[in-house]
Amino acid sequence: MILDPRTLRGAWLACTFQHARLYPKGDERDVTAAYLVSSRPFEDALDGRQ
């Protein structure tokens, strides 16, 4: 699966993934991390509140 930060829900100033691709469950590359930047509290940004 190719990861696209534009598909994340929320109101983020910036977002990126540690790895751009997720591999099938059980593969050693089946995990990544998302880095999210917001100018407001996480819960508000996640909800997309303005």
Residue 47 has pLDDT above 80, yes or no: yes
12-36 residue pLDDT tens:
999 999 998 999 999 999 999 999 9
| Percent of the chain surpassing pLDDT 90 | 74
**How many CB atoms within 10 Å of residue 37?**
10
Q: How confident is the model at residue 50 (pLDDT cuts 50, 70, 90)?
A: low
